[in-house]
Amino acid sequence: MNLPHRVSGDGRAAQAFRPLRSLSLIATAVLLLAGCGAGQSSPSAAGPSPASGSVAGFPVTVTDCGVTTTYQEPPRRAVSLNQHATEIMLALGLEKSMVGTAYLDDSILPEYKTAYDGVKVLAEEYPSYESLLSAEPDFVYGGFASAFDEKEGRGRDAFAKAGVNTYLNIEGCTEGPVTTARVDEEVRAIGRIFGVSDRAERRIAAMHEVLDGVKAKIDLVEPVKVFVYDSGDKTAFTAGGAGIGNEMIKLAGGTNVFADLDKAFGDVSFEQVAERAPDAIVIYDYGDESVEQKKAFLLASPALKDVPAIRNRRFAVLPLSSTVLGVRVPAGVRSLAQQLHPDRFA
C-alpha cells in the first residue's frame, strides 16, 4: 500500500509557458503611462518590480537539492504540493501569496483551516503540468520528490524553462540522518524566499519550546524498542534511519529497531521484525486502510505472534503528515512520547 508520492521519477515536458511576471510588468507599465497622462503618478499595488532591485532584503539566493535559485523579490503566485509543504506555507502566514495547492494525506491542521480554505485546490493528488501552469505560478513548492516527477512532465527543468521557480523539501534529497535542525533549515529557507524571516524564526522558536517540554518530561527514561508499520502484507514498509521519523522516535524516548536501514523508508520481512523483538509498534495512519485494520493484520500474523509488542498489544499511532519534515514534527514527537511513556505525562 505504498503511496505513489513516496517515489521519485524522471521525465520532461516541453510545453511553453509565459509566466505571469512578464504580464504583470506590461500591465504595470501601462498603468504608469496612464497615470502620467492624467498628470499624476500611480504606483503599482503589487510593489516594486524585480528589475527595480528595491525590495528590502532581496535578492536572495537559495540552494536546495542541487538547484540554486536567486529571487529578486518574494514569490506572489505560489503553489504548494503535499501537505507538509502546504502547512509550512500556512504556518508562515503566506496564504495570500498562494494561488493553488494540492495533495493532502489527511485533514489540514485546525489552526490553518481558515487560511487553507481561501486557497484554490488544484487537484486531489498531483495536478498535471498543464493544469498547474494554468494557475500561472511563479513558484512551486514540493514536499516529496515525486512532486517534480519528470516522467509525469513536472520536472524542475520543465518549470525552469517556463520561468517558474521551484523548491523541494530537503528531506527528499538529504543523505544521512535527518534531524530537527533540518526542520529549522526548511522553515528558515521558505522564510527567506518569501521575505518573512522574522516569522520563520518565531515559528522555529515555538517548535523548539514544544520539543524542550517533551525532553524535560522524559529525561532519563528507558528507551522503548519501536517498530514502525507504515503498510504492507508480504513485507513491511517501515521507517529507516535516514528520515525525520527516526529522529522523532529518539526524541520521544524510543529506539527504532530498523535505524540501521540507510534510507528514510524501506521494506523488511516480518521475520526480521520478529528477530528484533520490538516492545511497541508505531502505526502510520493514512490511506484506505484504517488503523484498526492494520492492527488486526499485525495481531493475526503468525510471524509476529511472539513479538513483545504483539503479545502486549502495545501500539502507538501517528498520522503520516506528522512523520515527514514539516511544522507538525514537534507535536508529533509529543504525541508519540505520551503514547510510549504515558506515566511521564500523567
The answer to whether the CB of 200 falls within 8 A of the CB of 187 is yes
The count of C-alpha atoms lying within 13 angstroms of the C-alpha of 95, restricted to the half-sphere facing its C-beta, is 15
C-alpha neighbours within 13 Å on the C-beta side of residue 222: 2
Within-domain flag for 9: yes
Residue pair 217/251 in contact by the 8 Å Cβ criterion: no
Of 149, 168, 187, which marks where a domain is finished?
168
Give the SS3 label for residue 158. Answer: helix
d(Cα 227, Cα 103) in Å, to the nearest integer?
Answer: 27
How many domains does one find in the chain?
2
Residues 17 and 159 in one domain: yes
- Asked if 67 and 142 sit in the same domain, the reply is yes
154-209: pLDDT as tens digits: 999 999 999 999 999 999 887 778 999 999 999 999 999 999 999 999 999 999 99
What's the gap between Cα 68 and its chain centre? 20
In a domain, 175, yes or no: no
The answer to whether the Cα torsion of 24, 30, 33, 38 is positive or negative is: negative
Residue 191 lies in a domain: no
pLDDT tens per residue, range 1-16: 434 444 433 332 333 3
* 212 within some domain: no
Do 150 and 30 sit in the same domain of this protein? yes
For residues 103 and 81, the answer to whether their CB atoms sit within 8 Å is yes
End of a domain among 109, 143, 168? 168
Give the CATH number of the domain where residue 232 resides: 3.40.50.1980
Residue range(s) defining the domain that contains residue 156: 4-44+52-168
The radius of gyration computed from the CA coordinates of the chain, to the nearest angstrom, equals 23
Residue 102 within a domain = yes
Query: Are 297 and 233 a contacting pair, CB within 8 Å?
Result: yes
Q: Report the C-alpha gap between 34 and 28 in whole angstroms.
A: 10
Q: Where are the alpha helices (DSSP H) in the chain?
A: 20-37, 83-91, 113-117, 129-134, 156-161, 180-193, 197-217, 244-251, 270-276, 291-300, 308-311, 329-340
Secondary structure of the chain: what % helix, strand, coil (to 5)?
Answer: 45, 15, 40
Asked, for residue 37, whether it belongs to a domain, the answer is yes
- Where b means 16+ CB within 10 Å and e means fewer, 285-321 reads bbeeeeeeebbeebeebebbeebebbeeebbbbbbbb
Return the pLDDT at 28. 38
* Cβ density class 65-80: b for 16+ within 10 Å, e for less: bebebebebbbbbbbb
Residue ranges of the chain with per-residue pLDDT less than 70: 1-54
Same-domain check for residues 263 and 115: no
Query: Does one domain contain both 149 and 253?
Result: no
Same domain, 147 and 272: no
Distances (CA, A) of 47 to 54, 97, 165, 199, 299: 9, 13, 19, 20, 60
176: in domain: no
Q: Cell 508562515 identifies what position?
A: 92
Contacts for 15 with CB less than 8 Å, ≥ 6 apart: 129, 130, 133, 153, 158, 162
pLDDT for the residue numbered 54:
66
Beta-sheet strand order (sheet of 98-102): 121-123, 98-102, 78-81, 139-142, 165-168
The per-residue DSSP string of 239-250 comes to E-TTSHHHHHHH
Return d(Cα 19, Cα 208) in angstroms, integer.
Answer: 38
Contact 270, 218 (CB under 8 A): no
Asked whether 63 and 41 are in contact (CB, 8 A), the reply is: no
Residues 233 and 92 in one domain: no
For cell 500556512, the residue is: 90
Cell 509498534 belongs to residue: 281
Q: Is residue 211 included in any domain, yes or no?
A: no
| CA neighbours closer than 13 Å in the CB half-sphere of residue 98 | 26
Dihedral angle computed from the Cα positions of residues 258, 264, 265 and 271, in that order, rounded to the nearest 10 degrees: -10
